[in-house]
Amino acid sequence: MVKMNQSNTITGSMEVEDRAQLPRYAWLSIGAALATMALKLTAYWITNSVGLLSDAAESSINLIGALLALAVLIIAARPPDEEHAYGHGKAEYFSSGVEGTLIFLAALLIGYEAIARLLNPQPIETPIIGLIVAALASLINLGVSLVLIRKGKENNSITLEADGRHLMTDVWTSGGVILGVAAVALTGWYWLDPLIALAVAINIVWTGFKLVRRSVLGLMDTALPEEDLQKINGIQDIYKKYGVQFHALRSRQAASRRFVSMHVLVPGDWTVQHGHQLLEKIEADIRRALPNITVFTHLESLNDPASWDDTTLDRKKQTEKVETPPG
C-alpha cells in the first residue's frame, strides 16, 4: 500500500471575506460618486472649464457603474440553487464589461467636449478656487479606488476591481484637467484646457479595453492563472512521488469562484475506500492552497488501458465493447 505524509501539503492563501459583505464597498463607491460629481459641477460653475465639465460628466457615469456593481454583487452573493448549481458568480463579468463600456463612453464624451472647445477656446474664470475643489474630489476618488481595487483582488471580485479601476481613471482624468486649468491660468493659452482633456480621454480608453477583454475571457471559461496552476501542479508532484499519476487537469475561473477537475490514477488493486481517502486528501490540499475553489476528482486505474483514453474533453470512441458490471 502507498502511504503518504500529509505534512508535506502546500498551504497558505489569504482568507476572503463573506461574499454577502462585499456590497458595502459598492455603497462606498456610490457615496464617492455623488460627492465628487457635486464638487466637480461646482468647480465647473466657478471656472467655466470644459475640462472640469467633462470630468463631472465622467463622475455621473461612475455613479451608474457603482449602482450596477451593487446590484451585481448582491446577485453574485446568492447561494447555488437548482437553476444555478455552480452559483451566481459569473454575474460579475457582466458588471465589469459594462464598467469597461462606460469608460469608453466617458472617453467619447470628454473627447467630444474637448474638440468643441478646441475649435472655440474660452477663458477660464477664478481657476484657483476651481482647482482646489477639483483636487478635493480627486482625493476622494483616489482613496475609494485604492480600497476597491485592494478588496477586489483579495476577494477575487472582478466587479469591485473594475469599479475601483473605473474610479482610478477618474483620478487620472481629474489630474489632467487640473493640469490643464493650471497651465491655462499661467500661460493664457486657452487651447491647452481642451487639448489636455483630449489626451486624458485617449489615455483612459486603454483601461476600458482591458476591463472588457477580461470580462469576455471570464465568460469564455478561461483557465486559472499560471500562478494558481503551479500551486496545483506542486500538490500533484507531492503525490507523484508515491506512484500516483494525474492527467486531464482542467480549470476555469468564474469571478470569485475557481473550478478545477482532474483524473487521479492509482494501482488497480486498491480498494474503493483507499482510493476515496486519497482523493479527499488531494482535494483538501488544493482547497487549502487556493480559497474559493471547487475540486472535482475522478479515480482511475493505472492498470486499465481505458484510463489513458480519457484525457481529452471529448473522450475517444470505444473500439472494444466495455463489459457492464453485474447487478
- pLDDT tens for 53-73 read 666 766 777 787 888 888 888
Alpha helices in the chain (DSSP H): 23-47, 50-76, 91-119, 127-154, 158-187, 192-219, 226-240, 272-289
Q: Please determine, for residue 7, whether its predicted confidence score (pLDDT) is greater than 70.
A: no
- Report the mean per-residue pLDDT for the chain: 79
Supply φ then ψ for residue 243, to 5 degrees.
95, 0
DSSP 98-148: HHHHHHHHHHHHHHHHHHHHHHS-----SHHHHHHHHHHHHHHHHHHHHHH
Task: Please report the pLDDT score of residue 272 as a whole number.
Answer: 92
Helix (H, G, I), strand (E, B) or coil at 243: coil
Strands 293-301 and 257-266, sheet pairing: parallel
Residue 145 has pLDDT above 70, yes or no: yes
The three grid cell numbers given for residue 238, joined into one nine-digit string: 507531492
Segment 87-116 mean pLDDT: 78
Q: Which helix (H) or strand (E) holds 259?
A: strand 257-266
192 CB contacts (<8 Å, ≥6 apart)? 180, 183, 184
**Residue 59 to residues 56, 170, 276: CA-CA distances in angstroms?**
5, 7, 55
Cα 29 from Cα 202, distance rounded (Å): 24
Class of domain 19-219: mainly alpha
pLDDT for residue 137 is more than 80: yes
Q: Which CATH superfamily is 224-309 part of?
A: Cation efflux protein, cytoplasmic domain (3.30.70.1350)
Q: 300 pLDDT exceeds 90?
A: yes
Highest mean pLDDT among 29-38, 58-67, 87-96: 29-38
| pLDDT at residue 5, rounded to an integer | 46
CB 224 within 8 Å of CB 262: no
Is residue 8's pLDDT more than 60?
no
Report the pLDDT value the prediction gives residue 15, as an integer from 0 to 100: 43
The Cα 324–Cα 62 span in angstroms is 61
- Cβ–Cβ under 8 Å, residues 285 and 9: yes
Same fold across 19-219 and 224-309: no
- pLDDT band of residue 316 (cuts 50, 70, 90) is low
Residue 1's pLDDT is what? 43
158/147: higher pLDDT: 147
What pLDDT is stored for residue 43 in this prediction?
75
Phi, psi of 246 (to 5 degrees): -135, 150
- Report whether pLDDT(90) > 90: no
Q: Where are the domains of the chain?
A: 19-219, 224-309
CA end-to-end span of the chain, whole Å?
29
Query: Is the separation of the CB atoms in 17 and 25 below 8 Å?
Result: no
3 versus 179: which is more confidently predicted? 179
Q: Give pLDDT, residue 18.
A: 62
Q: Residue 249: its pLDDT value, please?
A: 94
Q: Which of helix, strand or coil describes residue 258?
A: strand
Of the listed ranges 48-57, 168-177, 298-307, the one predicted with least confidence: 48-57
The model carries a pTM of 0.61
